[in-house]
Structure 1
Amino acid sequence: MLAVSETPSSPARLEAHDAPYHIGAVSLRARDLAGLTAFYRDAIGLTLISEGAGVAVLGVGGVPLLRLEAGATAPTSPAGLFHLAILLPSRRDLANWLAHAAEARVPLEGASNHLVSEALYLSDPEGNGIEIYRDRARSEWPRLDGGAIRMSTERLDLDRLLAEADGKDYPGMPAGTGMGHIHLRVGDTAQAEAFYRDALGFDLMVRYPGASFLATGGYHHHVAVNIWGSRGAGPRQAGEAGLAGFELVAADEAAFAAMRQRILTAGGRDEGEAATIADPWGNRLVLRR
C-alpha cells in the first residue's frame, strides 16, 4: 500500500477549478468493489476516505474524488464513460506519478501533449478510462485567430518528463489534486451539445472530428463528448457497470441557483442541497454547492 503524506500544504488553485463550475467526485459502479478500490488506492495513489455498505470513497486531503459502488448488474454499453481525468497541481507531480507507475508496473495506454496540458492515459481493471494530467498556465495556452483555444494531440516526451521526478518514494497523489474533467461516450455530438451547451449553459470550446469540448469560465474543457466508438448509441441500462454519475460543483450560491434553474427547466429534479439530471444517454449529473 502507498504511504500517505500528512504534510500540510497550500497548493495553487487548479485551472479547472477557476471557473463558476467544476467537476467534483465521479461515481463508478463496480463488478469487484474490493479489487477496484485497491487499484485506485495503490496504483493511482488516491487515499481511501471511507468504505462500507457496498461503497468506497477515495480522494486527496479528505476531499472525495471517486465513489465506487458495488452491484453492477449489466454490462457496459457503448455510451458512458470515455475517461475520468485527475488533475495534478504541477508538472513535477505528473513526473512523480509517472515514476511511480514505472516502478509499480502500472500499464499506460497513451501519453499526449495537448498544448494546454500534458496527459497520461490508462484504464482500470474494469475498463474504465483514466487520464492523469497537468495543465499549463492559462497564459501559456495557444490561441487561434479570434481568441479560441488551440488544442492538439502531439507526442509527449516521457523520458524528458520522467527526468523531472524528485526520486523519492511515492506518497500518493499530492495535496491540491482534483478532478479536472470528464470525457463521455455519446451517440451524437450535436445532441450532446444541445444538452450541455444549450440546456445547461456550458460554452463550446473546441470541436474535433467526432468530439466536442465544453467548459465554463474559459477552461479548455470540463466535459468532453465523443462518438468514436458509440455513434448512434441509445440510453444506458439500469445497473450498468462503469459510470454511475458525476458531480458538478458550483463555486458560489449564485452559480448554484443559476444552474439549478437550468437543470429544472431541462426536466431535472430538485433535491434541496443538490439538483440532478441525466443527459440523453443516461449519464447522471449531480449539481452541488
Structure 2
Amino acid sequence: MTLSTAISIANVHLQVSDLTRSLGFYQNALGLQVLRAEGQTAWLSANGEPPHLLQISALPNALPRPPRTSGLFHVAFRLPDRLALARLFYRLVALEVPFQGFADHAVSEALYLADPDGNGLELYRDRPRADWPFTNGQVQMTTDPLDVDRLLHEGTHSLETSHRIDPETDIGHIHLQVGDLERAERFYVDLIGMEVMQRSYPGALFIATDGYHHHIGLNIWAGRNVPPAPENTVGLRHFSIAIPDADAWRAKLNKMQTAGRTIKRLDEIDQESFAVKDDDNIEVRLVYRPTPP
C-alpha cells in the first residue's frame, strides 16, 4: 500500500550549537518567522502561523557532525515561484550570506547554502510538472549550471522590499545521507510506502508520492555503511511526514508494528503521530494531518 498522494514533509527539527546565532540566521537572513521559543528551542514558519516548518534546539557545546556519518544532507525550502526565489536570492547576496552552489535540475532551480552550524539547506522553485523530463516512468533530474546572473537580476529589479521569506514557502523535500541505498529503500519504500522516482543518479535514490520528483532524497556520498552521527553533534533530530488520510496513517502504524519496528506514540490534542527510526538511526515521525477545508 502506497501513501496517500497528498503527503508532505511537514517539518524538520535541527540541533544547533547556539540558539541566538541560529535565530539570527533563520529569522533575519532567511526570513522565517518565530512562532514561539521556550528555553533552548524555537519553532518557525514562513507565514507566522502554525504549523511550524522548522524547529531548532540548541545543545550547548554541540560538536560538528563528522563528515563520514549518516544524517542530514539538506533541508529543501520550496519557494512558490521563480520571482520569490529571485527576491530571496537577492536579499541573501546583499547580506553577504555565502552560497555553496547553484544548480538547474531540469525539474527545478536550486540554491545551496548552510546554516551557521553547517546544516545543509536548499532553496528552490519547481518548474511546471508538464516540463519535467521522464524516461520509462522515472524522472530524469540533472545537475546543470544555473543562470545565476539572470536570477539575481530578477531579484534586483523586484519592487518587493520585505525581509521575510515568501509566506507560501514550505519544505518541498529532505535529503539524507545513509549507509546503504537498498536498506534505505526497504524502509522508505517497502515500509512507509513511497515510490522510487529516480534510480539513475549516481550514488543516490529519489523517492516520492503523487509523481513528485522527490519528497526524500537518499545518498551514499559520505561512504557506504557509514555510522550514524553521534548525538552530541549538530544536525538532524527528526523530520515529520504529514499524511492526510486517517486509514493510510493507521495502516503505516500497523505495518511498522508488524515488521517489529520500535514505535513511539506522540499523540497530541490536535493530532495523532508516531515516531520510528530508520536503519541509519534517523527519527521519522508520521503525523495524521487532515487537509484543511
Same-fold status (TM-score > 0.5): yes
State percent identity of aligned pairs: 39
Unaligned runs of 5+ in 1: 1-17
1:79 aligns with 2:70: yes
Residue by residue over 1:131-164, the C-alpha shift from the partner in whole angstroms, topping out at 9 and shown as x without a partner, is 00001121121111x2321110000001112232
Separation of aligned partners in 1, 2:79 and 2:258? 35
Give the superposition deviation at 1:224: 0.8
The 8 Å contact of residues 118 and 133 in structure 1, kept in 2 or not, is answered as yes
Going from structure 1 to structure 2, the CA distance change for 1:49 and 1:102 (only over 3 Å counts) comes to same
- Per the alignment, residue 52 of structure 2 pairs with 64
- Per the alignment, residue 108 of structure 1 pairs with 99
Q: Which amino acid aligns with 1:241?
A: V
- Per the alignment, residue 53 of structure 1 pairs with 39
The 8 Å contact of residues 21 and 255 in structure 1, kept in 2 or not, is answered as no
Separation of aligned partners in 1, 2:190 and 2:106? 27
1:215 aligns with 2:203: no
SS at match of 2:248: helix
Residue by residue over 1:57-95, the C-alpha shift from the partner in whole angstroms, topping out at 9 and shown as x without a partner, is 111121311101122655424211000000010111011
Going from structure 1 to structure 2, the CA distance change for 1:235 and 1:229 (only over 3 Å counts) comes to closer
1:42 aligns with 2:1: no
1:171 aligns with 2:153: no
- Per the alignment, residue 6 of structure 1 pairs with none
Q: Which amino acid aligns with 1:279?
A: D
- Per the alignment, residue 273 of structure 2 pairs with 274
Separation of aligned partners in 2, 1:113 and 1:262? 38
Separation of aligned partners in 2, 1:237 and 1:26? 18
Give the superposition deviation at 1:100: 0.6
The 8 Å contact of residues 88 and 178 in structure 1, kept in 2 or not, is answered as yes
Of 137, 151, 154, which aligns to 2:141?
Answer: 151
Give the superposition deviation at 1:128: 0.4
Going from structure 1 to structure 2, the CA distance change for 1:181 and 1:47 (only over 3 Å counts) comes to same
Q: After the TM superposition, which segments of 4 or more aligned residues of structure 1 sit over 6 Å from their partners? A: none
When the two chains are superposed, the root-mean-square deviation of aligned CA atoms in Å is: 1.7
Separation of aligned partners in 1, 2:247 and 2:209? 14
Mean CA deviation greater in 254-263 or 80-89: 254-263
Mean CA deviation greater in 124-133 or 244-253: 244-253
Unaligned runs of 5+ in 2: 289-293
Q: Which amino acid aligns with 2:58?
A: A
SS at match of 1:264: helix
| TM-score when normalising by structure 2 | 0.87
The 8 Å contact of residues 199 and 262 in structure 1, kept in 2 or not, is answered as yes
Residue by residue over 1:192-212, the C-alpha shift from the partner in whole angstroms, topping out at 9 and shown as x without a partner, is 111111221111111211111
- Per the alignment, residue 286 of structure 1 pairs with 285
Give the superposition deviation at 1:56: 0.7
- Per the alignment, residue 32 of structure 1 pairs with 18
Give the superposition deviation at 1:265: 3.1
- Per the alignment, residue 152 of structure 2 pairs with 162
The 8 Å contact of residues 81 and 242 in structure 1, kept in 2 or not, is answered as yes
- Per the alignment, residue 249 of structure 1 pairs with 242
